[in-house]
A and B are shown apart, each in its own frame.
Chain A
Amino acid sequence: MAKITKANSVGEWLDQRLNTTTFNKVMMTEYWIPKDINFLWAMGVLLATTFGILLISGIFLLMYYKPDVNLAFDSVNYTIMQEVAYGWLFRHMHGVAASVVFLIIYIHMFTGIYYGSYKQGREMIWISGMLLFVTFSAEGFSGYMLPWGQMSYWAAMVITNLFGGVPVIGDALVVWIRGDFNVADATLTRFFMLHVFLLPLVIMALIAFHFYTLRIPHVNNQTSEEFDFDAEAEKYLSGNKKESKVIPFWPIFISKDLAVLGIFLIFYFYLVFFHYNFAMDPVNFDPADNMVTPAHIYPEWYFLWSYEVLRGFFFDIAGVKAFDIGLAAFGFANIIFVILPWLDRDTKILPAHKRPAFFIWFWILMVDLIILTIWGKLPPTGNNAWVGFFAATAFILLFVLLPIVTKIDAKKRGE
């Protein structure tokens, strides 16, 4: 046992037993952050906060929600919204945060792509981040099902049907996932379990892992400059703060994060109180009906781009069924970002504005994703179907071309 002596303060008492001083150093006061980073690097703290809001508001909703096809709709739309004190607030905080969390994830992700933060040495940060994105997607989808409105039901129908595309066992797999021939009570209760327990648990573990992956390669910076964190930390600790390129996370860097967080929370609560319905589809205020499909169904805004890639291929090509092409393209869209570190053939880590060809590639990708998102919500008929087809094809081509694009930049610099 460690040497335990009489403590003069609560802090000292805990330090002797839990080594809190060292813990604080490693996690906070001697966790080094480059000085040269902008507000886009605050997205991590924003995400952690938003996840906290989701967790707490979710706990309050959980106390009144009933995972039963006959009770679910009213437990949300009557009990929580009308009867529970501030139930409406918890629901809107949960619903808006679920939507906003994806906005921040996308900003976080594309900041990483722009500054090359997924490259050599930081692959694990990128991969753990993409795993988080996938798990958040599953979490968002399973939560969308729970109010058991028309959109909930048909979203579940479409998503579970996707597994029918798996060769040989597809049809049986769909029945197995649903626990019924149709989306039914068994489906609701198991997705409820996933949403409130298993997936949040996985997300929390992944968040811890994502933070850990940052420890060794450290955070990137605006110029993607490589420097010796230990040497810079040494300078800082010896009092040479001006020359040192790093600052401690706590209490120096966190002040900038908290400033950005303050602005974000103003925006977030503005949405919660004045525009909460942007995240709520009116169709979902009709109770689920397995015999009537709504005239026009589409997912929440954050899935529209991949949804449009899925349905963009609406005709058979060279004897391959449109359905299979769409499914393959959808699979492609969902895994391609994970292997980004290996598609980028440029040997240097540089921000996009210092890589001319990649810079163009990046902004074409942004425009293409926005087009996919907009057209994902429009009816897939006539010209819309063709816009979807070309935008989906462009998306795939962009990633096929990425190794060439990044090689061109390296060559131009004479490497």
Chain B
Amino acid sequence: MSNETNRRDFLGYTFAAVAAVGGAASLVGMKQAWDPLPSVLAGGFTTIELSGIKAGEPETFTWRGKPIFVLKKTAEMENNKRDLVIGEDRFTVAIGLCTHLGCIPAWKKTKWKCACHGGEFNPSAEQVFGPPPRPLDLPPFSVKGTQIVLGEEGPEYKKIAAAMKNA
């Protein structure tokens, strides 16, 4: 140490170090106080029975407070890489929140239209007009017979998610 460093400087450095550690610890605590609570994170799983859904008429379910669109495609609707195929049927499963700013689009005959900023999504949940930057998001699910369980990442989900990523 140089001769200019004296005892008072040492006191200053010590105080700064204590304050820095205390400040950092406080920030971590404050950040965590704003984190979602464990009860929220435990959010749970939602089971949806697909057999009763009519082709061409999407239904809306709730999962973690978010709307989930399930559309059984009609024969005229195009095939898509994100179709969930169960037996003869093809389904679109999507989180029903516009990927622009999160409003719920409404089904208008052949597409979902968002009233907030005019975004539109086709039956495969892909954006076809307006500001949405990507298709409606795919919720994690697993398939059990004619049921899907939202919140679990099953092999069918992984396959579709991978196909969407590579597109």
Residues of A within 8 A of B37 (CB): 179, 186
Q: Are B65 and A180 in contact (CB under 8 A)?
A: yes
Q: Judge whether B28 is part of the interface by a CB distance below 8 angstroms.
A: no
Q: Are B131 and A314 in contact (CB under 8 A)?
A: yes
Q: Judge whether B104 is part of the interface by a CB distance below 8 angstroms.
A: yes
Q: Of the candidates B34, B65, B99, which one forms a contact with A184 in the assembled complex, judged by CB atoms under 8 Å apart?
A: B65
* Listed stretches A28-36, A154-162, A210-218, A360-368; interface member: A154-162
Q: Are A294 and B115 in contact (CB under 8 A)?
A: yes
Q: Are A324 and B133 in contact (CB under 8 A)?
A: yes
Given contacts A158-B103, A158-B116, A380-B118, whether A180 and B36 have CB atoms under 8 Å apart is yes
Q: Are A182 and B36 in contact (CB under 8 A)?
A: no
Q: Are B131 and A322 in contact (CB under 8 A)?
A: yes
Q: Of the candidates A294, A295, A314, which one forms a contact with B117 in the assembled complex, judged by CB atoms under 8 Å apart?
A: A314
Q: Are B102 and A161 in contact (CB under 8 A)?
A: yes
Given contacts A379-B118, A380-B118, whether A182 and B103 have CB atoms under 8 Å apart is no
| Complex Cα–Cα for A297 and B116 (A) | 6
Q: Judge whether A273 is part of the interface by a CB distance below 8 angstroms.
A: no
Interface residues on chain B, size class: 20 to 34
Residues of B within 8 A of A322 (CB): 130-131, 133
Q: Judge whether B67 is part of the interface by a CB distance below 8 angstroms.
A: yes
* B 7-39 to A, binary, CB cutoff 8 A, 1 in contact else 0: 000000000000000000000000100111100
Q: Are B130 and A179 in contact (CB under 8 A)?
A: no
Q: Judge whether A190 is part of the interface by a CB distance below 8 angstroms.
A: yes
Given contacts A297-B103, A322-B133, A324-B133, whether A181 and B40 have CB atoms under 8 Å apart is yes
Q: Are A314 and B130 in contact (CB under 8 A)?
A: yes
Residues of B within 8 A of A161 (CB): 101-102
| Complex Cα–Cα for A290 and B65 (A) | 7
Report the minimal beta-carbon distance from A385 to chain B, rounded to whole angstroms. Answer: 7
Given contacts A291-B104, A293-B103, whether A321 and B115 have CB atoms under 8 Å apart is no
A382's nearest neighbour on chain B, judged by CB, is B118
Q: Are B64 and A190 in contact (CB under 8 A)?
A: no
Q: Are B40 and A180 in contact (CB under 8 A)?
A: yes
Q: Are B40 and A381 in contact (CB under 8 A)?
A: no
| Complex Cα–Cα for A35 and B100 (A) | 52
Q: Of the candidates A154, A182, A324, which one forms a contact with B65 in the assembled complex, judged by CB atoms under 8 Å apart?
A: A182
Given contacts A184-B65, A186-B36, A322-B131, whether A295 and B115 have CB atoms under 8 Å apart is yes
Residues of A within 8 A of B31 (CB): 176
Given contacts A314-B131, A321-B133, A323-B131, whether A181 and B100 have CB atoms under 8 Å apart is no
Residues of B within 8 A of A314 (CB): 117-118, 130-131
Given contacts A179-B34, A380-B117, whether A323 and B65 have CB atoms under 8 Å apart is no
The CB with the most chain A CB atoms within 10 A, among B35, B43, B101, B130, is that of B101
Q: Judge whether A313 is part of the interface by a CB distance below 8 angstroms.
A: yes
| Complex Cα–Cα for A178 and B34 (A) | 8
Q: Judge whether B79 is part of the interface by a CB distance below 8 angstroms.
A: no
| Complex Cα–Cα for A324 and B40 (A) | 30
Residues of B within 8 A of A385 (CB): 118
Q: Judge whether A412 is part of the interface by a CB distance below 8 angstroms.
A: no
Q: Judge whether A326 is part of the interface by a CB distance below 8 angstroms.
A: yes
Q: Are B133 and A158 in contact (CB under 8 A)?
A: no
- Which 9 pairs between the two chains have the least Cβ-Cβ distance? A182-B65, A323-B133, A161-B102, A293-B104, A321-B133, A322-B131, A181-B64, A293-B103, A158-B101
24 A-B contact pairs sorted by A residue (CB < 8 Å) = A154-B103, A157-B102, A157-B103, A158-B116, A161-B102, A176-B36, A177-B34, A179-B37, A181-B36, A181-B40, A181-B65, A181-B66, A182-B66, A186-B36, A290-B67, A293-B103, A293-B106, A293-B114, A293-B116, A314-B118, A321-B133, A322-B130, A322-B131, A323-B132
Told that A311-B117, A323-B132 touch, could you supply 12 new A-B pairs with CB distance under 8 A? A157-B103, A158-B103, A175-B36, A179-B34, A179-B35, A184-B65, A292-B104, A293-B115, A296-B115, A314-B118, A323-B100, A323-B131
